[in-house]
Structure 1
Amino acid sequence: MKKASMIINRNFTKGQIDPRIYSSFVEHMGRVVYSGIYEPGHPAADEDGFRADVLDKVKEMGVTGVRYPGGNFVSCYDWRDGVGPAEKRPRRLEIAWRSIETNQFGINEFMKWAKKAGVEPVFAVNLGTRGIENAVSMVEYCNIPGGTLYSDLRKEHGVEKPYGIKTWCLGNEMDGDWQVGHKTAQEYGRIAQETAKAMKLVDTDIQLVSCGSSKSSMSTYPEWEAQTLEYTYPYVDYISLHQYYDGQDRGTPYFLAQALDMENYIRTVIGTCDYVKAKKRSDKELFISFDEWGVWSMADKEVAAQVDEKPWQIAPKISEQIYSLEDSLLFASMMMNFLKYSDRIKIACQSLLTNISAAIMTKQGGEVWVQPIFYPFSYMSRYGRGQTLQSVLDCPTYDAEEFKQVPYLDSVAVYNQDRSEISVFLVNRSEDETIPFCIRLEDFGAGTPVQHIELTSEDKKATNQYRHDTVVPRELQDLIADPVNHTVTCELKPLSWNMIRIAVEE
């Protein structure tokens, strides 16, 4: 029988966890906005057309921030199309997703929704088909109190006070040849550098995100980071990373091991940032905004076929992926990586919030329900606050194709001093073995068990699509404390995600 143990010491910490790692992403793609978060006429719609049932789920999920409006969408978007009287807004061909954009939802609708949802906005500007002027005017509209063309235009639109949006992304996935306005590293570096300089002249308090690689398999990675940061490093505060994983057809051991690729991706980009920092003799440390991430269970050609089959539709039903327990375990491991590297990752946006690769699903005119990935996000957002601990894990391993010595347990521990509590998050990657698990506490006192939450299913392919309560968490009563040896033990079921909470002494 496989066994595993973890040692946690109060004095060994990794970094302070930024609440913004529990953010999500709303793009004008498919039904994310229209009939996702915004559906006037729906029985649950409020006076602004926002679905109150979805707002309730967003709050339950624990989302702290939302990136908007894209995504590939932003690279051919003029923000001015989505402001002013709704009846005067233009209908545009949206060429990223080959649909019709009605522009009935724009900056002011999003900001009103964000206030109701209690989330911090992260805005992206168009560096694909537009550039400096469009970005600068957008900052002016959003952040300048008044007395100028665009700030007064905002007031005419009924918004007296500036929004003061803090974080802005300089384009989206500009390294990708699928992106409208795709650029080489040098081309992007120069336009991002000049746009950053201009935006910070408008508002000196904003923070900027430079585009990093769109995924770890890009042929330009990590040279893209090294080249673009030569231009942007002095002017930005973050570099973005994006990553989606599929590979369910290659077997569960391989599929779940991909979280190790993500770790290597993070470490490599951190190293590249620090190389540029040293090269420029800079005192500034650059942080990571992992502002698109998730599990991708639908082939790109299938998504493209959905788009091409009926082009130029309004909010077409595309890429509405259904997640299984198996998907949720990789999702949880990806999310746990943000905790492991909390010293450098300060923003992370799960992609997307509703209907497309989403935790929250809606039926147009009907119900709302949540996918299994909803639950690890919700629990980690609630209890993964404080400091990441540098735990030591003793655990058996396995090999899966190029992944060698993959721990059967993926784990991370968080110390919340305000709550006098440790939360340990774990994924058991074994398909067939329950793993006895022991946590040893050092310099925390004996420790008192509080809660063990488990997410698992007898069928790893089980989903919540038809029975919405098929894959849901349950609370176990199996934590055993040994006050003499300062340990807490339990068992971790095969293919399960777990959260263990332990009260500790101050």
Structure 2
Amino acid sequence: MPSARMTIDPHFAIGRIRRRLFGGFVEHLGRHIYDGIYEPGHETADAEGFRQDVIELVRELGVSTIRYPGGNFVSGFRWEDSVGPREQRPRRLDLAWHSTETNEVGLHEFSSWLEKVGSDLMMAVNLGTRGTLEALDLLEYANVPGGTELSERRRANGREEPFAIEMWCLGNEMDGPWQLGHRSADDYGKIAAQTAKGMRQIDPDLKLVVCGSSGAQMPTFGEWERVVLGHTYDDVDYISCHAYYQEKDGDTGSFLASGVDMDRFIESVVATADHVGAVRGSSKRIDISFDEWNVWYIDRYEGVDKITGIGNWPVAPRILEDSYSVLDAVVFGGLMISLLKHADRVTSASLAQLVNVIAPIMTEPGGPAWRQTTFYPFSLTSRLAQGEALEVKLDVPTYETARYGEVPLVDAVATHDAANGTAAVFLVNRSTTESISVEVDVVSLGEVSVRETHVLTDADIHARNTLEDRERVAPAPSDTVALDGGVLRLTLPPVSWTAVALG
């Protein structure tokens, strides 16, 4: 059996873990809103039409700030459509996903839902088909207490107090040719800077996110970040990263190493941002909002789900409803490890998405809601990862991958909360055939004991939770964990994600 050794030491701090790292993303897309979070006829629906079984699962998931309303959807979004009396709201064509948007759920309703699930709103503005003026109007409507036409309109629409939205995204994936309003880095950088400056004239304390590349594979990646930040560096707080992963051509080894690609992506963007700052002689630091990340089988959408036809604009179609396996969940858990390993600079992140659409939670109209396999690494990491992220010193064998070269068989990160004396370690075993024994030196943590253990694995790595078998896959306690003399010992099964909480 291969073996690995690692050390957990509070002196090896990476950075403080912000709650925004465990954010989510809700887009007007497919069955995410309608038949997802909102289904007035469902037996669990509350007075506002929101499914309470979904609310309970979102609370359990532990999401903090939720990005809304898109995504590609936002580049054709007219925010005014989503407020005011429902019976007067227009139905619109959503060009991003070739659907009809009813606007039955809008800003007021979604904010109410956020209060129910205990999350904050991260609002995206349309810089695709609209611009600075419309963004300023939305900010005035949402955040100004009263006394102006738009703030008084909000009050007339039933919201006396401001929404007090702190975090705002300046458009979405503006480097993507698929995006309405797609433009060059120079053109986008100019409108983003102009919009940011105007928004700060209303509220200088906003947290603003400028669009980075929509993926590290984009031909403009790197140069896009440099040019955009050249325009916006003084006016924004974050630059965005987006990344999705899928198994391709049966290359399981590379898929399991997806976290390696995420690590490189983050480090490249940090280097570019710091270069722009150095050239400007600025002491300011730009952080990363990794506000779209997940396992997504995008080839399925392109080949099967994509809707076409000028007369075919369905409401809430079943698209992007990936069913996640144990293998997907292990990769997903590895991506969360990568985010924690960069907690010094990735201070906000949004799992894309939450319900039905490439989501950890699934629903059936008139039926149940259930947890996908990916639900568990997120909910457990969100709950257990507190305090500071710690760099772990890993001594572990490697294996060769077709896409990323030689990579470690085990990836891991630890966290430590000095205030309450707790710690946690998160690990993935990327081997498809062998268990790996791990020894962890925890002497520097002082007197601790094992509080809880969780391991997600299965003899069938393609097992998944479905409508017919909603609890086929779930984490179980590890029966291999032992702590003695300051050494934590455990065995990682093949293709597994493990969490151990200490305290």
Which residue number corresponds to residue 342 of structure 1?
Answer: 343
Matches within 5 A, 1:137-152: 137-152=137-152
Which residue number corresponds to residue 56 of structure 2?
Answer: 56
TM-score of the two chains, using structure 2 as the length reference: 0.98
Unaligned 5+ segments in structure 1 are none
Which residue number corresponds to residue 191 of structure 2?
Answer: 191
Q: Specify the SS of the correspondent of 1:314.
A: coil
- Structure 1's consecutive aligned runs of 4 or more residues displaced over 6 angstroms after TM superposition are none
1:52-74 CA distances to partner (integer Å, 9 max, x unpaired)?
A: 10000000111112100000000
Q: Specify the SS of the correspondent of 1:214.
A: coil
Which residue number corresponds to residue 468 of structure 1?
Answer: 470
Q: 2 CA distance for matches of 1:358 and 1:99?
A: 19
Matches within 5 A, 1:85-484: 85-299=85-299, 302=302, 305-308=305-308, 311-465=312-466, 466-483=468-485
Q: 2 CA distance for matches of 1:296 and 1:75?
A: 21
Matches within 5 A, 1:17-36: 17-36=17-36
Q: 1 CA distance for matches of 2:482 and 2:314?
A: 57
1:318-377 CA distances to partner (integer Å, 9 max, x unpaired)?
A: 111100011111111111111100000111100111101100001112110110000000
Asked whether the 8 Å contact 2:305–2:319 carries over to 1, the reply is no
- RMSD of aligned C-alpha atoms? 1.3
TM-score of the two chains, using structure 1 as the length reference: 0.97
Change (3 A) 1:459 1:300: closer
Matches within 5 A, 1:2-21: 2-21=2-21
Aligned residue identity for 1:339: L
Asked whether the 8 Å contact 1:446–1:482 carries over to 2, the reply is no
Q: 1 CA distance for matches of 2:368 and 2:186?
A: 47
1:241-280 CA distances to partner (integer Å, 9 max, x unpaired)?
A: 0000113433211111121111000000000000011111
Unaligned 5+ segments in structure 2 are none
Asked whether the 8 Å contact 1:174–1:181 carries over to 2, the reply is yes
Q: 2 CA distance for matches of 1:477 and 1:330?
A: 22
Question: How far off its partner does 1:443 sit?
Answer: 2.5
Aligned residue identity for 1:471: V
Asked whether the 8 Å contact 1:303–1:318 carries over to 2, the reply is no
Asked whether the 8 Å contact 1:10–1:442 carries over to 2, the reply is no
Asked whether the 8 Å contact 1:81–1:90 carries over to 2, the reply is yes
Q: Specify the SS of the correspondent of 1:249.
A: coil
Asked whether the 8 Å contact 1:446–1:487 carries over to 2, the reply is no
Asked whether the 8 Å contact 1:447–1:488 carries over to 2, the reply is no
Q: 2 CA distance for matches of 1:395 and 1:6?
A: 8
Question: How far off its partner does 1:446 sit?
Answer: 4.6
1:278-300 CA distances to partner (integer Å, 9 max, x unpaired)?
A: 11111211110000100012416
Asked whether the 8 Å contact 1:298–1:321 carries over to 2, the reply is no
Asked whether the 8 Å contact 2:360–2:375 carries over to 1, the reply is yes
**Percent sequence identity over aligned pairs:** 45
Q: Specify the SS of the correspondent of 1:463.
A: coil
Q: 2 CA distance for matches of 1:41 and 1:301?
A: 29
Aligned residue identity for 1:80: E
1:362-415 CA distances to partner (integer Å, 9 max, x unpaired)?
A: 111211011000000000000011101121001000011132221111100001
Q: Specify the SS of the correspondent of 2:87.
A: helix
Aligned residue identity for 1:381: S
Asked whether the 8 Å contact 2:410–2:430 carries over to 1, the reply is yes
Q: 2 CA distance for matches of 1:173 and 1:302?
A: 18
Aligned residue identity for 2:465: N
Change (3 A) 1:303 1:29: farther
Q: 2 CA distance for matches of 1:269 and 1:105?
A: 35
Asked whether the 8 Å contact 2:305–2:320 carries over to 1, the reply is no
Question: How far off its partner does 1:189 sit?
Answer: 0.2
Aligned residue identity for 1:470: R
Question: How far off its partner does 1:303 sit?
Answer: 5.8
Change (3 A) 1:205 1:230: same
Q: 1 CA distance for matches of 2:444 and 2:53?
A: 45
Question: How far off its partner does 1:454 sit?
Answer: 0.5
Q: Specify the SS of the correspondent of 2:445.
A: coil
Q: Specify the SS of the correspondent of 1:321.
A: coil
Q: 1 CA distance for matches of 2:357 and 2:301?
A: 16
Asked whether the 8 Å contact 2:132–2:194 carries over to 1, the reply is yes
Q: 1 CA distance for matches of 2:303 and 2:152?
A: 41
Aligned residue identity for 1:56: E
Q: Specify the SS of the correspondent of 1:475.
A: coil
Q: 2 CA distance for matches of 1:207 and 1:167?
A: 5
Asked whether the 8 Å contact 1:24–1:349 carries over to 2, the reply is yes
Asked whether the 8 Å contact 1:173–1:179 carries over to 2, the reply is yes
Q: 2 CA distance for matches of 1:347 and 1:164?
A: 18
Asked whether the 8 Å contact 2:4–2:395 carries over to 1, the reply is yes
Q: 1 CA distance for matches of 2:366 and 2:213?
A: 38
Q: 1 CA distance for matches of 2:410 and 2:478?
A: 19
Q: Specify the SS of the correspondent of 2:442.
A: strand
Q: 2 CA distance for matches of 1:388 and 1:195?
A: 34
Asked whether the 8 Å contact 1:74–1:171 carries over to 2, the reply is yes
Q: Specify the SS of the correspondent of 2:193.
A: helix
Question: How far off its partner does 1:304 sit?
Answer: 6.6
- Select between 184-193 and 3-12 the one with higher mean Cα deviation: 3-12
Q: 1 CA distance for matches of 2:75 and 2:248?
A: 31
Q: 2 CA distance for matches of 1:23 and 1:127?
A: 23
1:445-478 CA distances to partner (integer Å, 9 max, x unpaired)?
A: 2532222211011101111013111110011243
